[in-house]
Amino acid sequence: MLRYLPLTGHDREAMLATIGVHSIDDLFADVPEAARLDGPIAGLPNHMTELAVERHMTALARRNTVAGEVPFFLGCGAYRHHVPASVDHLIQRGEFLTAYTPYQPEIAQGTLQMLFEFQTQVARMLGTDVANASMYDGSTACWEAVGMARRITRRTKAILSSGLHPHYASVAKTMAKYTGDVLDTAVPDLSSDMDLDRLIAAIDDDTSCVVVQYPDILGRIGDLQPLADACHARKALLIAVVTEPVAMGALKSPGEMDADIVVGEGQSLGVGLQFGGPYVGLFGCKEKYVRQMPGRLCGETVDADGKRGFVLTLSTREQHIRREKATSNICTNSGLCALAFSIHMTLLGEAGLRRLAGLNHAGAVHAAERLGKVPGVRLVTDRFFNEFTLDLGQEARPAVRTLAERGVLAGVSLGRLYPGEDALANGLVVAVTETTTKEDVEALATALQEVLA
């Protein structure tokens, strides 16, 4: 029995008769003889019961170290936060989970209103005028922002901060090879400050945009206003990248510092770690650039009876209308993750977001000061939100592996992110959230001291 297929043998016979053919093979008559498979593909197993599949998958799941079961300090673009139980319950309501992109707005107001609320929440968090209905993730949103800046400025030079997540920079490098954009890139150094001065010095009349991450890959923060001013003096755009949206409950938003486009990774709220995906890209910008935005946009309107309602709008930017002239090829985005983000944000509210951010920061400050006292360890970053960088005085990567064997997931070694960059090899990026306990920090400090000795 195949539990997801409702047709019976009798149904199939009756339907073939209605169609007027003798067998199912007649319906595949257009397939060339040489390409027809006579039976199930050899070497692959046949169907399994629900119980058997559950056993198979559970056995695979057990072979992973679960973040919540050990002292855990990884960040660098994906953060472990507590997600209230109601979030996962609500996103599993079939009316959200099993709906499609809201092409028929009369019977999709639930998704559309949620998207309108999401867009407003994201815009307010990032400090932008508007935001779209989500992108795949932060890294692809970042590249889309570079493309958008190219279209707006009609220039092709993009200056990437050395503090931009190296995977985000990699995505941009991949795409730039084929689009003709010229990237000015650098790797970070183990210092306490962002590379704002380098960025300002690099801006010229060919520059379409500067891309700066805030807080950056090492956890550092800085005032983006002078950078925004320098960009605008040369008619270039400032793109800010936020990989930890919880920071927006404590830190001045990039929009408040006059960034033109702010993109982000929304995974921290509602979504969970999930080994890297699916996540949810955030994309906000100044209102004057809205027609160059990629992705879906939900807008308010009224119905024929004058009642307020919501629709997907400005779709003349999009691939299904504009085809090769579209602002992006994106179609399916990250709707359900956007819903999870939005529900979590609604549960928090501004007061909750600020409190959550405060707890993250306080925990990180405590951990930074404690870990900075481990012999041989130096705290590199002195201003940060919930993530900071340590110089271990020796290569961090083997230390991380040894710590993992001892049951402590210590953080992300810069050697993993920047292989071959010897100057960074001793760096360890440590993230602390509200899920990190003081005992976790002690466990890391103790184990680190032993491993480094």
Task: Report which of 402, 389, 388 is spatially closest to residue 453, judged by C-alpha positions.
Answer: 402
Among residues 203 and 249, whose Cβ is nearest to another protein?
249
Among residues 118 and 199, whose Cβ is nearest to another protein?
118
Q: What is the SS3 assignment for 59?
A: helix
Residue 334 CA to residue 399 CA, distance in Å, equals 36
Among residues 205 and 213, whose Cβ is nearest to another protein?
213
Backbone angles phi, psi at 265, to 5 degrees: -105, 120
Nearest distance, CB of residue 322 and another protein, angstroms:
7
410 neighbors 404 (Cβ within 8 angstroms): yes
Nearest distance, CB of residue 421 and another protein, angstroms:
11
Structure-token pair, residue 33:
């003889």
Residue 17 CA to residue 60 CA, distance in Å, equals 45
Nearest distance, CB of residue 262 and another protein, angstroms:
14
Among residues 331 and 423, whose Cβ is nearest to another protein?
331
Among residues 51 and 205, whose Cβ is nearest to another protein?
51
Nearest distance, CB of residue 409 and another protein, angstroms:
6
195 neighbors 185 (Cβ within 8 angstroms): no
Nearest distance, CB of residue 425 and another protein, angstroms:
12
DSSP H/E element including 187: none
Task: Report which of 49, 44, 42 is spatially closest to residue 4, judged by C-alpha positions.
Answer: 49
Structure-token pair, residue 296:
């879906």
Nearest distance, CB of residue 412 and another protein, angstroms:
5
Non-local CB neighbours of 299 within 8 Å, separated by 6+ positions: 116, 310, 311, 312, 313, 314
Among residues 60 and 205, whose Cβ is nearest to another protein?
60
Structure-token pair, residue 105:
């707005």
Among residues 230 and 285, whose Cβ is nearest to another protein?
285
Sign of CA dihedral 106, 337, 174, 123: positive
Nearest distance, CB of residue 44 and another protein, angstroms:
4
